Amino acid sequence: MPRLDRNLSMLFALNLAVSLSSQLVQPLFPLYLVGLHASEVEVGLVIALSSAVATALMLPSGLLIDRIGRRRILLLSVVMAAIPIFFLSFIGDLGAVTLLYTIYNAAFSFFIPARMALISESATPQNRATLFGLMNIAWPIGGIVSPVLSGYLIEAFDWSICFLTSAAIIGVSVVPTALLREKRAEPRPAEPGAPRVSLLDRRYLPQMVMFFAFHLVMTTGIGGVNMILPLFLESQYHLSYYLIGLFFTTTSVVTLLTQIPSGYLADRYGRKRLLAACIAPIPVLVGVWPFVDNWVTLLMLYTAAQGLWSMTWPSTLALVSDSVPAEVIGAAFGVRMTGIRLGFTVGPIFAGLLYSASGAAAPFLAAALFHLLGIPLALLFRDSRRAAHEEETRAEEADHQAEMAPQPDISIEGAAKLLESFKSRARG
């Protein structure tokens, strides 16, 4: 089990603050928009617009990370997240809320790739998935506490108290961010006149396309379900904000329990193998929603699907890290996150349109189809560490067989016997 040094401990504290703050706002935010008299389609458009801006910034932020450093980008993201959430507590106009929420969402375009790059450079190829899993538990800790807390704050007070609490938490995270120290990746020695390392190189581009496409189709389904979920539970089952928040809390508990084991299993048995095994049941778990009439059963299905999806995070992060050189790791994570953010942009729009035009069942059936498309894409990934491990195993077996093979007798007595044998053959 990898240990967290001072730098990773500060990053974990920052990640925990970001998780606590964001989970106070994001899960129930569609209901806040409905309270501003937004329709289902308008709710989807607001969330999609904020995701579109975040998507557009994701790849440039990855390039900036490799150029100007991780800590500066993290400081920028903290400031970008704190200011708009603070102002949301005083503003109730839908247009202004859309602008502020878009700026808030854009902050994560800078935070997430920088965080991934810092973790990757602190890991070894042997423990990378395990370390990602260990650091990832900051996300579900926030997800366990904050959705239920936000439901309580909204019902006991109002949305402004929820927004102010979120802004205060993210503001405090400036402290661990300022204490971070980063190790800049040293470029590999290059021959004079050699081109710079680029993700457009044919050695890296096919895998980057696969990572982008996989995360796009998976998060299109997830983003659509997550946006529709609060509206669906309120309209179909008339659940309170507290019980709706419970859906997000239980998935966070499962995510907390799965991150470290899933990272270990990925390092032990292969990242691609675990990835395919985890996503295979998700289409069924999501597709049966329209045929279930009990919200407790829906809670179990949703928790299982989200838990399996969260088990893929260490595997995909390690696969990305292993697929490119260190000097472009930030850009590679930017490509991955661009696919994720684009899915979270398209998914809510698609789900909102289906929900309004075709009924409550349509978004869940469409999400199941998108998840199904992710399975063949996952099988196209190249697990370079697994291949290297198998090559090492074959080499060790060959060495062992060579050691067990009969060896010629090179002693003096052996040489004399060999000479006598040659003489006998000559006389014959």
Lowest-confidence region among 14-23, 243-252, 288-297:
243-252
Where residue 392 falls among pLDDT bands split at 50, 70, 90?
A: very low
- Please tell me which residue, 223 or 193, carries the higher pLDDT value: 223
Q: How far apart are CA 237 and CA 293, in angstroms?
A: 9
Where residue 413 falls among pLDDT bands split at 50, 70, 90?
A: low
Mean pLDDT of 389-413: 52
pLDDT at residue 249 greater than cutoff 50: yes
Tens digit of each residue's pLDDT (9 = 90 or more) over 224-239: 998 888 888 888 888 8
Contact indicator for 329, 66 with CB cutoff of 8 Å: yes
Mean pLDDT of 289-318: 91
Where residue 391 falls among pLDDT bands split at 50, 70, 90?
A: very low
Where residue 191 falls among pLDDT bands split at 50, 70, 90?
A: low
The pLDDT assigned to 45 comes to: 84
The pLDDT assigned to 18 comes to: 93
Percent pLDDT > 90 in the chain is 28
Ordered structural domains, the chain, with CATH: 6-183+200-387 (1.20.1250.20)
Tens digit of each residue's pLDDT (9 = 90 or more) over 54-88: 888 888 887 788 788 888 899 999 999 999 999 99
pLDDT at residue 288 greater than cutoff 90: yes
Question: Under 8 Å CB-to-CB from 148, ≥6 apart: which residues?
Answer: 242, 245, 246, 249
Mean pLDDT of 353-382: 91
Mean pLDDT of 231-257: 84
pTM for this structure? 0.72
